[in-house]
Amino acid sequence: MPELPEVQTTVNGLNKKVLERTFVGVWSDWKRMVKEPGNFKRFKKLLKGKKILRVWRRAKNVIFELSGGYSLLIHMKMTGHLMVGEWKLKKGIFKAVQPGPLQDFINGYIHFVLMLDNGRMIALSDMRKFAKVELHETKDLHELFENLGPEPLEKNFTFEKFQALFNNKRGKVKQVIMAPEFIAGIGNIYASEALWEAKIHPLKDVSELGAAPLQALYGAIRKVLALGVEFGGDSFSDYRDIDGKKGEFEGKKKVYQRAGQPCFRCKTLIKRLVVGQRSAFYCPNCQKIQ
């Protein structure tokens, strides 16, 4: 699933390519993606003629702020990614017009397309078809996001605010930091990377973390997420950027999917364990539970 860096990379790309463009049409062969799919005609009617004022992110959601007081929210879920380009519909399948990354097979599972007034399109490729598309009045967005945790890369997210989140908190640290109501946007990849960076075992109970390890974890979370954004996200699975290209964070990972390979710090072999039905990767020497 795209995490904060992948979603932010998508948002950064969209802001460079689609601002001030107007929606002139919508297509989908999987209307279940859209909230209230039975009202797809109404959705199309409401969206048509709306101008894109800005694109921003909250947690793992891409939000298009539109003219007329509306906002389009897209959650890419497990295998979705947004691209900008030109496609032709042939026998019910959208095919990229220009040769290049957009023609790669992983970019060909297009089930939702937004047509723009300059002839270009925003396409959502999603192999498993779990992505969600919702149109809301902008004034109502705060209600949608009120249960989400703070944004870890915001300047005002200080260590003091981070530390306060752990007051009277219990639970395995990897599960805790991945909970969207605790901190927004951290998924499996960056949780493992941050815990390795901070030298904290993924099964460590957060109630046992003092000020020093929390300071290390705070810095590690911000470091690995910022690095993920800098290198365009991780494309170990399906994620691609808006040009259909792979992110470059894959080569920067220290532990994720490296079980059986030597730790970059101490050469001990990386191990894998399961925490809350999700894989966790760690160094048994650098990240001791006691």
The CATH number that applies at residue 192 is: 1.10.8.50
Do 175 and 45 sit in the same domain of this protein?
Answer: no
Q: Supply the pLDDT for residue 243.
A: 98
- Is 224 domain-assigned? yes
Do 138 and 16 sit in the same domain of this protein?
Answer: yes
- Catalytic option among 3, 6, 193, 197: 3
Q: Is 99 part of the annotated catalytic residue set? A: no
pLDDT band for 1, please (50, 70, 90 cuts): confident
In the 3-class helix/strand/coil scheme, how is the chain assigned residue by residue?
A: CCCHHHHHHHHHHHHHHCCCCEEEEEEECCHHHECCHHHHHHHHHHHCCCEEEEEEEECCEEEEEEHHHEEEEEECCCCEEEEEECEEEECCEEEECCCCHHHCHHHCCEEEEEEECCCCEEEEEECCCCCEEEEEEHHHHHHHHCCCCCCCCCCCCCHHHHHHHCCCCCCEHHHHHHCCCCCCCCCHHHHHHHHHHHCCCCCCEHHHCCHHHHHHHHHHHHHHHHHHHHCCCCCCCCCCCCCCCCCCHHHHCCCCCCCCCECCCCCCECEEEEECCEEEEECCCCCCCC
List, in sequence order, every residue forming a beta bridge with 89; answer none if it has no partner: 94
Domain count, the chain: 2
User: Per-residue pLDDT tens for 222-259?
Assistant: 999 999 999 999 998 899 999 999 999 999 999 999 99
Comparison of pLDDT for 38 and 111, the residue scoring more: 111
The CATH number that applies at residue 108 is: 3.20.190.10
Secondary structure of residue 114 in the 3-state scheme: strand
User: Per-residue pLDDT tens for 93-121?
Assistant: 899 999 999 999 999 999 999 999 999 99
Q: Supply the pLDDT for residue 91.
A: 87
Q: Are strands 271-275 and 93-96 parallel, antiparallel or unpaired?
A: unpaired
Do 193 and 245 sit in the same domain of this protein?
Answer: yes
- Catalytic option among 2, 5, 152, 202: 2
Q: Could you say which of 145, 176, 201 is where a domain stops?
A: 145
pTM of the model: 0.96
Name which of 5-14, 34-43, 106-115 the model is least confident about.
Answer: 34-43
Q: Tell me: pLDDT of 65 over 80.
A: yes
Domain range for 226: 159-282
User: Per-residue pLDDT tens for 270-279?
Assistant: 999 999 889 9
Q: Is 5 part of the annotated catalytic residue set? A: no
Q: Is 60 part of the annotated catalytic residue set? A: yes
Q: Residue 290: how many CB atoms within 10 A of its CB?
A: 5
Q: Supply the pLDDT for residue 26.
A: 97
- Catalytic option among 57, 60, 174, 204: 60
Q: Is 3 part of the annotated catalytic residue set? A: yes
